[in-house]
């Protein structure tokens, strides 16, 4: 598939200094060459990146890639949502571009901003002529943020929009627009568009409900905590030095902690950390006393810690 330099809708004379967009020639909606012929192949490729998926997750990732739709992943913290994008990028041989959402994030922080301080310095150059002023709004002074980077990269990227629930409604609406167009008009420079969109993974910890309009555009998957067997396997691939018996004991205790009414349930990262910590300490067998001494690896909230401590006997009694 050939490569073209594409210039679109040049809106402003300063566009002579503007952005050339490198895009692949394309058909609608396709997200680029996808090296996986089947769900099994995708699952195997992610496993090579030490990410273990169940069939449901692998299927929805495969479909999102094949249909060129964004993938919306929801689930509790620590179930492996962000990691999907992180492993998908190398599995596809693409660049990962990450937009971390936070309260108050706006379009400028996500798309592009002008570098005012450098513009100011340039504007004060003694030999600056009036004609040169337009140069101050050339791509040289444009600060590219993740969405613009993703538009420019097109199908050579995986775009991770992480923790979208932290951003406000207005930002979500802006994002929806960006996702439908994968183009941006920069008044001083011109329009930049990706003919083939990047693969997009959106995550939400569901601290608020996302809008239906956004959900309609995406394929959706809820990631649960892994089953006991799957979690043992995950510890084994992520921390191969931990013996299987210890990995199993840790995963079993963690799954019991997840049954408790806690403010924050331990995620898979905590299971891995705990197993690593115990192995580092030379622990071969996890009992109540050892657990009490190392709880900080797995419980990260003071109230939760008190609840768990008071019930450790019960956790280990169940054998
Ligand atoms: N299915 C999985 N296979 C391998 N590692 C996993 C899996 N799920 C979670 N992990 C581990 O848990 C860590 C936390 O996952 P992360 O994607 O950050 O969670 P979330 O984004 O859902 O809060 C990852 O860095 C990874 O080490
Ligand atoms: Mg995350």
Q: For domain 3-222, which architecture applies?
A: 3-Layer(aba) Sandwich (3.40)
Task: Name the residue at shortest CA distance from atom 20 of ligand 1.
Answer: 78
Confidence (pLDDT) at 35 = 80
Residue range 224-278, pLDDT digits in tens: 999 999 999 999 999 999 999 999 999 999 999 999 999 999 999 999 999 999 9
- pLDDT (0 to 100) of residue 133: 77
Domain positions in the chain: 3-222, 228-317
Whether 71 and 201 have beta carbons less than 8 Å apart is answered as yes
Which of 28-32, 228-232, 291-295 has the weakest average pLDDT?
28-32
Residue from 269, 273, 276 whose mutation best tests the ligand 1 pocket (most atoms within 8 A of CB)? 269
Amino acid 236: pLDDT: 97
Q: Ligand 1, residues 80, 162, 239, 251: which to mutate, most atoms within 8 A of Cβ? A: 80
What is the Cα–Cα distance from 44 to 308, expressed in whole angstroms? 37
What digits encode the pLDDT tens for the residues 51-88?
Answer: 999 999 999 999 999 999 999 999 999 999 999 999 99
CA distance 46 to 26: 26
Average pLDDT of the segment spanning 15-33 = 42
Q: For residue 1, name the pLDDT band (cuts at 50, 70, 90).
A: very low
Nearest to 173 by CA among 110, 84, 116, 97: 110
Question: How far is 250 from 274, CA to CA, in rounded Å?
Answer: 7
Packing angle, helices 55-67 and 81-92, rounded to 10: 60
Closest ligand 1 atom to the C-alpha of 76? 22
User: How does DSSP assign 103-132, residue by residue?
Assistant: TT--HHHHSEEE-HHHHHHHHT-TT--GGG
Per the rule left: phi > 0, alpha: psi between -120 and 50, beta: everything else, 163 is: left
Sequence-distant (6+) residues with CB within 8 A of 166 are 101, 102, 103, 105, 207
Q: Output the CA 26–ligand 1 centroid distance in Å.
A: 33
**Confidence band for 19, pLDDT divided at 50, 70 and 90:** very low
CA proximity to 237, closest of 289, 272, 263, 188: 272
Give me the chain's average pLDDT, please. 88
CA 58 – CA 60 distance, rounded (Å): 6
Helix axes 228-238, 268-280, angle to 10 degrees: 60
Confidence of residue 319 (pLDDT cuts 50, 70, 90): low
- Rounded Cα distance between 20 and 192, Å, is 8
- What pLDDT, on the 0 to 100 scale, is given for residue 159? 98
Give the percent of the chain with pLDDT over 70: 89
Ligand 1, closest atom to CA 80? Answer: 17
Bridge partners (DSSP) of residue 158 are 96, 199
Question: What pLDDT is recorded for position 309?
Answer: 95
105 in Cβ contact with 167 (< 8 Å): yes
Instruction: Give the pLDDT band of residue 17 (cuts 50, 70, 90).
Output: very low
Q: What is the pLDDT of residues 100-150, one digit of tens each?
A: 999 999 999 999 989 888 888 888 888 877 777 778 888 888 899 999 999
End-to-end CA distance of the chain: 59
- Residue 318's pLDDT band (cuts 50, 70, 90): low
Determine the distance separating the centroid of ligand 1 and the alpha carbon of 91, expressed in angstroms.
16
Ligand with the closest atom to the CA of 83: 1
pLDDT at 299: 96
- The whole-angstrom separation of Cα 163 and Cα 89 is 18
Question: How many percent of the chain have pLDDT more than 90?
Answer: 72
43: tokens are: 């699952």
**Ligand 1 contact via 239 beta carbon (within 6 Å):** no
Count of CB atoms within 10 A of residue 236's CB? 19
pTM: 0.86
Whether residue 45 contacts residue 36, with contact meaning beta carbons closer than 8 Å, is answered with: yes
Q: Which of 69, 2, 49 is nearest to 216 (CA)?
A: 69
pLDDT at residue 204 is higher than 90 = yes
- Residue 116 Cα, ligand 1 centroid: separation in angstroms? 38
In sign, the C-alpha dihedral spanning 184, 185, 187, 189 is positive
């Amino acid at each position: 598939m050939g490569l073209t330099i594409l210039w679109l809708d040049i809106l402003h004379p300063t566009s002579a200094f503007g952005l050339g967009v490198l895009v692949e020639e394309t058909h609608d909606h396709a997200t680029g060459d996808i090296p996986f012929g089947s769900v099994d192949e995708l699952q195997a490729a992610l496993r090579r990146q030490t990410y273990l998926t169940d069939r449901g997750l692998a299927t929805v990732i495969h479909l999102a890639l094949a249909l060129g739709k964004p993938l919306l992943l929801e689930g509790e913290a620590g179930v492996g949502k962000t990691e999907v994008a992180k492993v998908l990028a190398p599995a596809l041989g693409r660049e990962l571009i990450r937009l971390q959402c936070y309260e108050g994030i706006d379009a400028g922080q996500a798309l592009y901003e002008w570098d005012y301080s450098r513009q100011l310095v340039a504007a004060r150059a003694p030999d600056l002529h009036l004609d040169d002023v337009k140069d101050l709004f050339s791509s040289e002074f444009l600060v590219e943020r993740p969405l613009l980077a993703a538009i420019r990269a097109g199908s050579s990227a995986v775009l991770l929009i992480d923790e979208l629930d932290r951003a406000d409604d207005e930002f979500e609406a802006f994002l929806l627009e960006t996702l439908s167009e994968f183009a941006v008009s920069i008044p001083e420079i011109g329009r930049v568009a990706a003919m083939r969109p990047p693969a997009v993974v959106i995550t939400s910890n569901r601290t608020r409900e996302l809008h239906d309009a956004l959900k309609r555009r995406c394929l959706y998957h809820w990631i649960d905590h892994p089953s006991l067997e799957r979690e043992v396997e995950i510890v084994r691939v992520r921390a191969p030095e931990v013996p299987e018996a210890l990995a199993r004991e840790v995963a079993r205790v963690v799954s019991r902690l997840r049954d408790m009414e806690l403010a924050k349930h331990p995620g898979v990262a905590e299971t891995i950390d705990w197993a690593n910590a115990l192995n580092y300490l030379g622990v071969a067998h996890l009992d109540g006393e050892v657990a009490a001494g190392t709880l900080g690896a797995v419980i990260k909230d003071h109230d939760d810690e008190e609840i768990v401590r008071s019930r450790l006997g019960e956790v280990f009694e169940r054998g």
